[in-house]
Amino acid sequence: MEIAPCLIDGRLYTGHGETLEVRNPATNAIVGIVPVCSAALATSAADAAVTAFSSWKRTTAAHRAQLLRSVAAGIRTARDAFATTITLECGKPMLEARGEVEYSASFFDAAASAGEMLEGSTIASRIADRRVFAVREPLGATMAITPWNFPLAMIARKTGPALAAGCTQVVKPSEETPLSASLLGKTMLECGIPAGVFNCVTGDPASIAGALLCHAGMRKLSFTGSTEVGRLLARQASDRLMRCALELGGNAPFIVFADADLARAADQLIAAKFRFMGQTCISANRVFVQRGVLPAFIALLESRMDGLLLGDPLQETTRIGPLISDAAVAKVERHVQDAIARGARLRRGGKIATLKGMSQRFFEPTLLEGGTAGMACACEETFGPILTLHEFETEEEVIESANAVAVGLAAYVMTQDADRLWRVVEQLDAGVIGANDGAPSAAEAPFGGFKESGYGKEGGRIGVEEYTRVKYVSMRVRVP
Ligand code: NAD
């Protein structure tokens, strides 16, 4: 099997023997191998990024935008290869993998446009002969560590804005899904991104991250992954006072008021809950339904869940593929059993689905009612296809319940009352709100969480600004 290369200083690198296997979660078959880069190699990638920064920062925003748009076009041209790679390495159903490819390309387009529009400011001075300016400049060489659940998009969301702002980057993708990152490296090369501007290294997470975090030239860590690892890396980064952006785990509330368009709310919930089998950071984790409409809402959900076809994720018709690992399946099973033990009623699903020729990682889309705050599925991010319904009475009560967790990434509210909608939006303690919208992600929007879901924004104009620093210039002028 051919080694999927890393990209270091403009050269594709296949290593000196030690490799990492990448397995298809649907079948357990090996679908690729990548080199294990040493800490020393990660340091050379960081050196390359630092060297490349000195010339990349001097290119015009328009020039960088042009190159980034060609990367977007390159991704779209290789759409099928990218989508198949995503599906093979993380088990994402093909239809969604195609969506991720387009979503990824859109990050490069959006960053290109935002980079061209970056602005500083002129500030009114209190002194007659003084002029005051705030000038934006790129931060420098940066590092990015990404998760397995969006193998391409989470890189695009960091690399697009970084490069648009004039920064360079070293990316360490998840060891579970390094193949899309390798393909992106090749695309970058083909599109003329200069040597050292984008680098990708694979291998042991702790040793690569350690080498990059203690590199004197690294100016920013952008991390997407679990709160636990984010906390660890932020601690390490604090030694050098490195700027951090942390996109961490969530535990999203999804609130359905009795005055919602229930059919529409059910559609939005199916998208928010079962997209990638619930393995997204903004997946609805606690579903609150107002008393009175629960039976009608359950009927609407059940009719939609009938259409969630389980199968090989490579098939276009498949809506539910495998979970990423045996550990993920075990967590989902634990959450179901814990909920039942604490009084929840299982309406459908709740067990592993056995499919011919497939692994034991397929879990039936599950519907539970009678959810309560103490259940594991309410306290922890499930990251699986379990939909647990909690009943509530009043607006005040549901807002309190929605906010009563340590994290605050996404929250959803479904209602047709515009006053209530805005009132609730203002009180929800989450960085991303789906207001009658179950799929709120967009390349042009500033995505990011509150509380223990991290800090920093990715996407749109703010996403590019986060890769800049503000230099304040005070200038004396001779005035008559
Ligand atoms: P993870 O934290 O296990 O891994 C994320 C990355 O960190 C991977 O690249 C991994 O190799 C690396 N890593 C792991 N241990 C490390 C260590 N000791 N030192 C350095 N690097 C290390 O998370 P995951 O399982 O890949 O992803 C799932 C999590 O990511 C979920 O909690 C999910 O909510 C979160 N997520 C958040 C967002 C967001 O935008 N907020 C988006 C996607 C996923």
Percent of the chain with pLDDT over 70: 100
Question: According to the model, what pLDDT value does residue 17 have?
Answer: 82
What pLDDT score does 461 carry?
96
Residue 176 has pLDDT above 90, yes or no: yes
CB 284 within 8 A of CB 387: yes
What are the catalytic residues?
247, 281
Any ligand 1 atom below 6 A from CB of 247? yes
The confidence band for 409, taking pLDDT boundaries of 50, 70 and 90, is very high
- CA 218 to ligand 1 center in whole angstroms: 20
User: What does the pLDDT read at residue 86?
Assistant: 98
In the predicted model, what is the mean pLDDT of residues 427-433? 98
pLDDT at 223: 98
**Three-state SS for 303?**
helix
pLDDT at 307: 96
Strand partners for 132 = 123, 474
DSSP state of 238: H
| Atom of ligand 1 minimally distant from the CA of 209 | 20
Residue range 287-341, pLDDT digits in tens? 999 999 999 999 999 999 999 999 999 999 999 999 999 999 999 999 999 999 9
Backbone angles phi, psi at 317, to 5 degrees: -85, -10
Q: Is the pLDDT of residue 385 over 90?
A: yes
pLDDT of 411 over the 90 cut: yes
Report percent pLDDT > 90 for the chain: 99
Task: Look at residue 222 and give its three-state secondary structure.
Answer: strand
Q: How close is the Cα of 224 to the center of ligand 1, in Å?
A: 5
The answer to whether the predicted template modeling score (pTM) of the entire model surpasses 0.85 is yes
Q: Is 117 helix (H, G, I), strand (E, B) or coil?
A: coil
Q: What are phi and psi of 58, to 5 degrees?
A: -90, -5
Q: What pLDDT is recorded for position 451?
A: 98
Q: Ligand 1: which of 86, 145, 170, 432 to mutate, most ligand atoms within 8 Å of CB? A: 145
Report the chain's mean pLDDT, rounded to a whole number.
97
Mean pLDDT, range 162-189, rounded to an integer:
98
Q: What tokens does 73 get?
A: 């076009």
> Given this model, what pLDDT does residue 32 score?
98
Ligand 1 mean position, distance from CA 173 (Å): 9
- Gyration radius of the chain's alpha carbons: 23
Mean pLDDT, residues 238-262 taken together: 97
Ligand 1 atom index nearest CA of 208: 20
CA–CA distance from 382 to each of 232, 279, 328, 330, 377 (Å)? 21, 8, 9, 11, 6
- The reported pLDDT for the residue numbered 269 is 98
The answer to whether residue 353 scores a pLDDT higher than 90 is: yes
Residue 205 Cβ inside 6 Å of ligand 1? The answer reads yes
Instruction: List C-alpha distances in Å: 97 to 17, 112, 313, 418.
Output: 31, 23, 9, 34
> What is the average pLDDT across 142-163?
98
Residue among 89, 174, 207 whose CB has most ligand 1 atoms within 8 A, to mutate? 174
- Note whether 261 and 182 are within 8 A (CB): no
Q: For residue 341, which phi and psi values (nearest 5 degrees)?
A: -60, -30
Find all residues with CB under 8 Å of 6, minimum gap 6, and list them: 12, 13, 14, 15, 34, 35, 37, 45, 182, 185, 199, 200, 201, 202
Q: pLDDT value at position 236? A: 96
DSSP per-residue letters across 57-97: TTS-HHHHHHHHHHHHHHHHHTHHHHHHHHHHHH---HHHH
Q: Is the CB of 417 under 6 A from ligand 1?
A: no
Q: Over 90: is that where the pLDDT of 16 sits? A: no
* Tens digit of each residue's pLDDT (9 = 90 or more) over 450-477: 999 999 999 999 999 999 999 999 999 9
Report how far residue 179's alpha carbon sits from residue 361's, in angstroms, rounded to the nearest whole number: 21
Edge to edge, what strands does the sheet with 454-455 contain? 11-13, 6-8, 198-200, 168-172, 141-145, 218-224, 243-247, 454-455
**Could you tell me the distance, in angstroms and rounded to a whole number, from the CA of residue 16 to the centre of ligand 1?**
27
